[in-house]
Amino acid sequence: MAAGSEDDAVRTLSATLERFRGDPRLALGLRPDADAAAARQAYFELCKQFHPAKFARYSPATVRLANEVFLAIKRAHELARKPAPAAAPAPGAPPTPRPGPPPASVRLATPPGGSRLAPPPAGLRAAGTPRPLTPPTGVPRVVPPTVPPTPTPRPAPAAPSPSSARDRFDRGLELLRAQKWAEARTIFAALAAEVPADPRYRAYLHYTRGWDAFQLGKPTEARAEWQRALACDPGLGLAKWALESTGVAR
């Protein structure tokens, strides 16, 4: 991919990025019934073709474009692993029948002649209904003591929903593309603390810390942070590209 001229590489990267702004499954070249294994295979093939390290010899603008394409491929793979939505009914298909009224055999019975039973007179009580108790005249009524209400315990704060975590993760990736390392690090640090079982958040947290250290002139610390990112997520190509493009791996 990176063997041609830089203009060819820019045209290819721009067209690929535009393609991945649509349906992720179509962008990966998947069939509608493709499973997670097929999505992962397509993802690996595209990573080999569009890995940022293949464009490291070009200008910084082209390298940033390659990073955006790589992140778009990764995001499309994560979305394509989810089950495909249920297919809509074909045009012209007969509508699903709605339940009609119950048959006459199970409808409520109606008195002969269509008349309804009138309510009993107010003075009559149904058999077995207890008569309300009335205290004798002159006996004071006993008022029960007032019991203070039991305080209702407050519910524990709910864990962040997957949708909010997904939105914040996408925001962190946008900040990475803009090279706003401090803001992106804040988002990934919060996600890593809230969802410790997901290693991706820790991997991106170490990745942003590595760039902070590199910009402060600390290549040894930057190399250690990028290596920690790969330990959390071996497939994080951004960390590999950072180690190779900055020269701290040598």
Q: Lowest mean pLDDT: which of 26-40, 139-153, 209-223, 226-240?
A: 139-153
Average pLDDT value for residue range 129-135 = 51
Q: What's the mean pLDDT when you consider all of the chain? A: 75
Task: Provide the residue type at 82 as one letter.
Answer: K
Q: Is 103 exposed, middle or buried (0-12, 13-18, 19+ CB in 10 A)?
A: exposed
pLDDT band at 103 (very low <50, low <70, confident <90, very high): low
Contacts of 208 (CB under 8 A, 6+ apart): 176, 181, 182, 184, 185, 188
**Distant-in-sequence, close-in-space partners of 68: CB < 8 Å, separation ≥ 6:** 17, 177
* pLDDT tens readout for residues 26-40: 888 888 788 888 888
Residue 95's pLDDT band (cuts 50, 70, 90) = low
- Quote the pLDDT of residue 190: 92
Q: Look at residue 147 and tell me whether its pLDDT is greater than 90.
A: no
Instruction: Give residue 233's pLDDT band: very low, low, confident or very high (50, 70, 90).
Output: very high
Whether the predicted pLDDT of 105 surpasses 60: no
Query: What share of the chain in percent tops pLDDT 90?
Result: 15
Q: Mean of the pLDDT values across residues 240-249?
A: 82
Q: For residue 54, what are the contacts with CB-CB under 8 A and spacing of at least 6?
A: 1, 2, 66
Average pLDDT over residues 151-170: 67
Does the global pTM surpass 0.75? no
How far apart, in whole angstroms, are the C-alpha atoms of residue 217 and residue 245? 15
**Residue 194 pLDDT greater than 50, yes or no:** yes
Taking residue 134's Cβ as centre, other Cβ atoms within 10 Å add up to 6
Pick the closest to residue 65 from 29, 21, 16, 24 (CA basis). Answer: 16
pLDDT, position 110: 45
- Measured over all CA atoms, what is the biggest interatomic distance in the chain, rounded to whole angstroms? 109
Question: Nearest to residue 32, comparing CAs of 88, 70, 75, 116?
Answer: 88
Q: Is the pLDDT of residue 216 over 50?
A: yes
**CB contact at 8 A, 186 and 194:** no
In the prediction, which pLDDT does 224 show?
93
Percent of the chain at pLDDT > 70 equals 66
- Look at residue 133 and tell me whether its pLDDT is greater than 60: no
pLDDT at 39: 84
Q: Which domains does the chain have, with CATH numbers?
A: 1-82 (1.10.287), 162-250 (1.25.40.10)
